[in-house]
Amino acid sequence: MLLDDRIGSNHYEGALARAGVPPVVKRLDSADAIIIGDGAVFGVEIKKLGDLLRTIHDGRFAGYQLPLLRASFGADCALLIEGLYRRGDGGAIEVRRGDGWETPKWAGHTSYDGLRNWILSMQFKARLQVIETPGAAGTVTWLARMHAWAARYQEHRSHVALNTINDGDDAEWETAELNPTQAFLVAKTFKGVKPVRAKALALHFRSPRRLVNATVEELVKVDGIGKKIAADFVAACEREG
Helix (H, G, I), strand (E, B) or coil at 212: helix
57-70: pLDDT as tens digits: 888 898 889 988 88
Model pLDDT, residue 182: 67
Q: Which run of H or E residues covers position 49? A: helix 49-58
Task: Say if CB 25 and CB 10 are below 8 A apart.
Answer: yes
Q: What is the mean pLDDT of residues 6-32?
A: 89
Q: In the CATH scheme, what architecture does the domain 2-155 have?
A: 3-Layer(aba) Sandwich (3.40)
Kindly state the average pLDDT of the residues 8-15.
87
Q: What is the pLDDT of residues 132-185, one digit of tens each?
A: 999 999 999 999 999 999 888 777 666 655 555 454 444 444 444 455 566 776
The residues near 232 (Cβ < 8 Å, ≥ 6 apart) are: 190, 191, 192
Work out the mean pLDDT of the chain and round it to a whole number. 84
Region class of 83: left (phi > 0), else alpha (psi between -120 and 50), else beta: left
Residues 146 and 134: their CA atoms lie apart, in Å, by: 17
**Fold assignment, 180-240:** DNA polymerase; domain 1 (1.10.150)
Q: What's the sign of the alpha-carbon dihedral 48, 15, 25, 229?
A: negative
Q: Do domains 2-155 and 180-240 have the same CATH topology?
A: no
- State the pLDDT at residue 167: 47
Q: Which residue has the higher pLDDT, 124 or 74?
A: 124
- Report the percentage of the chain scoring pLDDT > 90: 40
pLDDT at residue 78 is higher than 70: yes
Degrees, nearest 5: CA angle 151-154-157: 115
Q: Half-sphere exposure (CA, 13 Å, Cβ side) for 154?
A: 8
Break the chain into its structural domains and give their ranges.
2-155, 180-240
d(CA 80, CA 68): 16
Residue (of 48, 116, 126) closest to 86 by Cα position: 116
Distances 148 to 9, 21, 85, 230 between C-alpha atoms, Å: 20, 9, 28, 25
Mutual orientation of helices 112-124 and 49-58 as an angle, nearest 10°?
80
pLDDT per position as a tens digit, 96-109: 888 899 999 888 88
List of residues 6+ apart from 113 with CB closer than 8 A? 87, 91
pLDDT at position 75 is: 85
Handedness of CA 6, 9, 10, 11 (dihedral sign): positive
CA 163, CA 175: separation in Å to the nearest integer?
A: 19
pLDDT exceeds cutoff 90 at 38: no
The per-residue pLDDT for 165 is: 47
